[in-house]
Chains A and B, each alone.
Chain A
Amino acid sequence: MRRRQAIALLALIGFCIALYLWFYKIGIIGKLQCGSGSCEYVQTSRYGALLGVPVAFYGVVGYAVIVAVAIAGLQPAQLARRWPTTALALLSAGGLLFTLYLTGIELFVLHAICRWCVGSAVVMTGIAAVAVTGAIEKK
């Protein structure tokens, strides 16, 4: 139960970060609070969208699904079931791979770091660590 709670909390934080970046991308927020980072450079680059959809929107959807699965898995009838654990491990592994791809673009193509993207990467890594170790332990 603790693992699913931790995943839900982390995914909610990730959801907020992705929502913030998406709101910027679609013009609701005029400026990213980024300190000395290169958030706007990264977000406005051609890698800021994938198949015509802002990358941040994939994050919004992905984190929302993880939050939903984690909360569903916390319902009394689902606590003993294994499917939420498996689903969270698969979702977070996919999210981590996507995060690694985006971080690689930042480091090796754009040579710029967006602090919010780093924050999201840390959150996704945390989710994946908790979810995957949970799935392995329950085997």
Chain B
Amino acid sequence: MRRFYLLLVLVAVVAGVLMWRASRSTGGDVSAAAAAAPALVTAADSAFQGYVLGSATAPVEVVEYADFQCPHCGEFANVQFPTIKEQLINTGRLRWRFREYPLPIFEWSRVAALAGQCAGEQGKFWEMEEALFQQQSDWGRSRKNPSAAFRDLARGVGVEVNKYDACMDSQRYAGRIEASYREGAARGVTGTPTFFVNGRELDNTRFGNSDAFKNLVDSLTGTGRH
């Protein structure tokens, strides 16, 4: 009987050690507080000018400052951006540059921005950006840390998860996100999404839909109806 109780204790101890080791691994979970901590911005962080979609020779460039948790950004990304992409970006008339502008009012913005960058490290930024915005209504309203949901999204878009976890754990791109935020603030961005077209800030109230962007590109390239 004594050997039996020793066996029970042994099983409990082994399980306890394994769970303690598992609890030490954050596995890509980044807390909102950790992500919001001031990040050191290096020259390389500042030199990164955002992920770009579209032809390098497109005559018009839009820079979008966006927050992954901002509902307006989500609506724009899910409703208007697909049309803009199809009609303007894929046809070589427009180049789109995405810059993070994580607003302090949203709890998970910086964690989501890190997830986007870590997917981007593996060449999947735009797929992850689309997935984050498409699922925003799920994770954005949750009080639970969405890191696990982000990892599932990353896996879904074809990201190699172990590398992604390592990237998230190290918060490798926190400085890059902070640099993007500071850049936006220096340009007068106060809300999201904010757009700059060939360097000029747009009035969000007039350019919140794909038709307005199309008309703008038409006018800038002289291809619209006169």
Contacts and interface: CB of A to CB of B under 8 A. Distances in A.
B29 interface: yes
A19 B19 contact: yes
Interface stretch (A26-34, A88-96, A100-108): A26-34
Nearest to B12: A12
Chain B contact patch, size range: 20 to 34
Given A5-B4, A40-B151, A31 B11 contact: no
Nearest to A1: B1
Given A12-B11, A41-B152, A31 B19 contact: no
Nearest to A11: B8
A44 B147 CA distance: 11
Nearest to A8: B8
Contacts of A27: 144-145
Contacts of A117: none
Contact of A9 (B11, B147, B152): B11
Interface stretch (B20-28, B96-104, B180-188, B213-221): B20-28
Interface of A: 5, 8-9, 12-13, 16, 19-20, 23, 27-33, 40-41, 44, 74
A95 to B, nearest CB: 19
Nearest to A44: B148
A12 B8 contact: yes
Contacts of B29: 30-31
Interface string B136-153: 000000001101110110
A9 B28 contact: no
22 contacts: A8-B4, A8-B8, A16-B12, A19-B19, A20-B19, A23-B19, A23-B23, A29-B22, A29-B23, A29-B25, A30-B23, A30-B25, A30-B27, A30-B29, A31-B26, A31-B29, A31-B148, A32-B27, A40-B148, A40-B151, A41-B152, A44-B148
B33 to A, nearest CB: 13
A74 B145 CA distance: 44
Given A16-B12, A41-B152, A31 B1 contact: no
Given A16-B15, A27-B145, A9 B26 contact: no
A5 B1 CA distance: 9
